[in-house]
Amino acid sequence: MLIAGCSSAPEAVPPTPPAPTPTESPTVEQADPLAGFYAQELDWRECGGAECTKVRVPLDYDDPTGDDVELAVTKVPATGEAIGALFVNPGGPGGSAFDYAKAADFIVSPEIRESFDIVGVDPRGVGKSQPVRCLSDAQIDEIFASDGTPDTPDEGRELVEDSRLIAEECERNASELWRHMGTVSVARDMDIVRAVLDEPVLNYLGKSYGTAIGAWYAQLFPSFVGRMVLDGVLPTDLDQTEVSFGQAVGFENSLRNFAADCVASGECPFPGDQQAVLTELRAFLDSLDSAALPTTDGRELTESLGSYAVLSFLYFPDGDYPRLRSALSEAVQQGDGSALLALVDERTNRSSDGRYLDNSTDSFYAVSCTDLPFDGDEGEAMRLADEWQAQAPTFGPALAWGLLACADWPVTGDLEGRDEPVQAGGAPPILVLSTTGDPATPYRWGVDLARSLEDGHLITWDAFNHTAYLEGSACVDDAVDAYLLAGVLPTGELICS
């Protein structure tokens, strides 16, 4: 293990020259159409131990004189003397950075809390930033519960109809904003927020999808990058098929780790060794296709819901594995799917009265399918499902069929040249964190980003966990804090075990 250097006291974040707007300088012939956005004054208010405001950004950067969007911004003041602001984003797409920042005491170390104001900006269309709404609660329930691995032509047709429903309902019900939620626009929004908050650079901690926002910011505005940490990399240069396959294999590897942990716990609902547990678990999920389990709230635990419960509780082993094991025991031994269904509800933020408390499902599709549409059809999804079965038998087929949700997406994103990796030429050093057993953002994605960046630096955590900072490794945490506080980088490639 290589040890990063540290500083006895925080240093001020190095200033950059005064920032013009990121568009071409105004000329006599043509004024900068973004100048008004960069010059806006903010109205701050107190909001429960933090300060909150709204920032206006263009709805469409190709037509910045048209409609605009209001972004919800919160700032949690540093507990000591602030040396700058640290912008944070938890991922998604669809996660609320506003709420994430309000949890500042739990998402960064006490040393970072002392030295940085923590700022959260809900991306356009997400959370409190004019949230797009496409689907009703009942429709979301139906989509989550429907058969995601069709075995008959009728089931195939039903899946295709459900997949088309998302875009159709966005066109019918959502505001025009749903057509302008691509990640490049989100990154451009971040620069306007940085400027109107009078921050000379963007110091940034992005996790999961938040890394895509950060990477695109660094590509578009390299001279305004401060200290940037990208943790759990979602690549910007792969297509939807490549991303989904990588995740299918990643979750399958994590499931094998869960099976081994289940055996070691002595409380596994499935008998035998690791392979036996995997076989029995897959058989249990398959059985839900023809015999869904009852639950206490009147819904049924279908194969899709059962599989999602398992997948969504592979992210954080310390807390997820025991809860997943207990819920599986109740389902297998008592024939009651309530506990597994409760896990799904928790991860999708569904309340006990059937309401989805945020718009994360709608915004997930609006962003993902805009950024990475699927160019195939039902036949291609079927072919991929059969192909992925070999390496990812538990999750591969469902994730392949799931590609159809982004097929024929009516919105064209602005990720031009997305097959080229982000380089961020001219940006200062960027710290990339990648976990060897990360199920959702596989390790290789972080390695590739660190290599493609002009000045990227990789920290590896040898663990089964989604993201690394403040997730249980003092080695990772100390290195990140040293970088954020004093700009100290690991010597060589730091590997934390």
Q: Is 466 considered catalytic here?
A: yes
Specify the DSSP element, H or E, that contains 226: strand 225-231
How many angstroms separate the Cα of 306 from the Cα of each of 75, 262, 343, 365? 38, 17, 9, 21
Query: Is the bond preceding residue 93 a cis peptide, omega within 30 degrees?
Result: yes
**Type of residue found at 448:** D
CB-based contacts of 292, cutoff 8 Å, min separation 6: 300, 301, 302, 303, 337
Q: How far apart are CA 109 and CA 470, in angstroms?
A: 7
How far CA 77 is from CA of 69, 74, 80, 82, 482, in Å, comes to: 25, 10, 8, 8, 20
Helices (H), 389-486: 396-401, 443-452, 474-486
- Catalytic residue selected from 146, 163, 185, 208: 208
Give CA 59 to chain center in angstroms. Answer: 22
Can you read off the two tokens belonging to residue 483?
């970088």
**Cβ neighbours of 26 (radius 10 Å):** 14
Name the 3-class secondary structure at 227: strand
Among the listed residues 174, 399, 409, the one whose alpha carbon sits nearest the alpha carbon of residue 307: 399
Residue 315: CB atoms within 10 Å: 21
Measured over the CA atoms of residue 403, residue 405, residue 409 and residue 412, the dihedral's sign is: negative
Cα separation, 67 vs 63, in Å, equals 8
How many Cβ atoms are within 10 Å of 275's Cβ, its own excluded?
12
Number of H helices, E strands in the chain: 18, 12
Element (H, E) at 242: helix 240-265
Interacting residues of 414 by C-beta distance below 8 A, sequence separation 6+ = 61, 182, 184, 185
208 catalytic? Reply is yes
The SS3 call for residue 90 is: coil
Q: Is 362 a catalytic site residue?
A: no
Q: What is the token pair recorded at 467?
A: 């993201």
Pairing relation of β-strands 300-301 and 117-121? unpaired
d(CA 416, CA 412): 10
Task: Give the tokens for residue 172.
Answer: 């019918």
Considering the candidates 115, 231, 466, 481, report the single residue annotated as catalytic. Answer: 466
Q: How far is CA 377 from CA 337, 373, 390, in A?
A: 33, 12, 21
Listed in order, strand segments (DSSP E) in 369-496 are 430-435, 456-461, 494-496
Residues labelled as active-site residues = 208, 438, 466
